[in-house]
């Protein structure tokens, strides 16, 4: 049995993440969601906070990569300045995008963390293959209807706080 929907860590924002938390756990790579994790759906390019965050990972010997369900163009435009390893249309919670990124970056599951704002895609997908999972609050509450519907279900789980028993 996996961890299901229980993240290993819950933080309000990815920008609050303490890299030491990752280092203490032997994490050598982070697989980052874009939409509502690094930037809002509306932001096409990374802002200074994102650039600083990626730099912080890299300076601490942690590889940063993008694994996103978004379209090719969205990911390519976003990643232009960052130049990270990036997978678009990852179909999270499918494990294929995660596994491909880990294989290309030479990362073992126990060295890899997933960071995202969605329980049913980012967290569930990462937990299924034994990755460290980090849940953040979505940056923008003004989301597309499809995502908002998912939030209703997420809230039911969050209320139960499954990771607090």
| Closer of 8 and 33 to Mg ion (Cβ) | 33
Pairing, β 29-32 against β 63-67:
parallel
Task: Output the smallest distance, CB 104 to Mg ion, in A.
Answer: 21
Q: Does 35 bind Mg ion (CB under 5 A)?
A: yes
Greatest alpha-carbon pair distance for the chain in Å reads 42
In DSSP terms, 133 is beta-bridged to 114
Using the rule CB under 5 A, give the single segment among 28-36, 75-83, 100-108, 150-158 that binds Mg ion.
Answer: 28-36
Please report whether residue 117 would count as binding Mg ion according to CB under 5 A: yes
Token readout for 122 is 């980012």
8 binds Mg ion (CB under 5 A): no
Least distance to Mg ion, CB of residue 158, Å: 16
Q: Residue from 36, 79, 112, 133 that binds Mg ion (CB under 5 A)?
A: 36
For the chain, the residue count is 165
The residue (of 8 and 35) whose beta carbon lies closer to Mg ion is 35
Stretch that binds Mg ion, among 30-38, 43-51, 78-86, 97-105 (CB under 5 A): 30-38
Residue listed under structure tokens 């990911």? 75
Contact 8, 162 (CB under 8 A): no
The 3-state DSSP class for residue 135 equals: strand
Q: Choose the stretch contacting Mg ion; rule: CB under 5 A; options: 17-25, 53-61, 109-117, 126-134.
A: 109-117
Q: Which of 106, 66, 115, 100 is nearest to 86 (CA)?
A: 66
Closest CA to 132 of 105, 106, 112, 116: 112
User: Per CB under 5 A, does 33 bind Mg ion?
Assistant: yes
- Complex with Mg ion: residue 35 or 111, whichever CB lies closer: 35
Contact footprint for Mg ion (CB under 5 A):
33, 35-36, 117
């Amino acid at each position: 049995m996996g961890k299901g929907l229980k993240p290993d860590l819950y933080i309000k924002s990815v920008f609050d993440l303490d890299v030491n938390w990752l280092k203490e756990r032997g994490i050598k790579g982070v697989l980052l969601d874009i939409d509502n994790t690094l930037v809002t759906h509306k932001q096409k390019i990374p802002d200074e906070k994102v650039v600083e965050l990626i730099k912080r990972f890299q300076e601490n010997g942690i590889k940063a990569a993008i694994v996103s369900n978004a379209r090719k163009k969205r990911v390519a435009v976003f990643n232009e300045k960052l130049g990270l390893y990036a997978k678009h249309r990852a179909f999270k919670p499918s494990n294929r995008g995660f596994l491909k990124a880990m294989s290309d970056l030479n990362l073992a599951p126990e060295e890899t963390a997933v960071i995202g704002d969605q329980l049913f895609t980012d967290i569930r997908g990462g937990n299924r293959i034994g990755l460290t999972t980090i849940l953040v609050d979505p940056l923008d509450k003004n989301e597309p209807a499809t995502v908002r519907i998912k939030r209703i279900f997420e809230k039911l789980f969050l209320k139960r706080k499954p990771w607090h028993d």
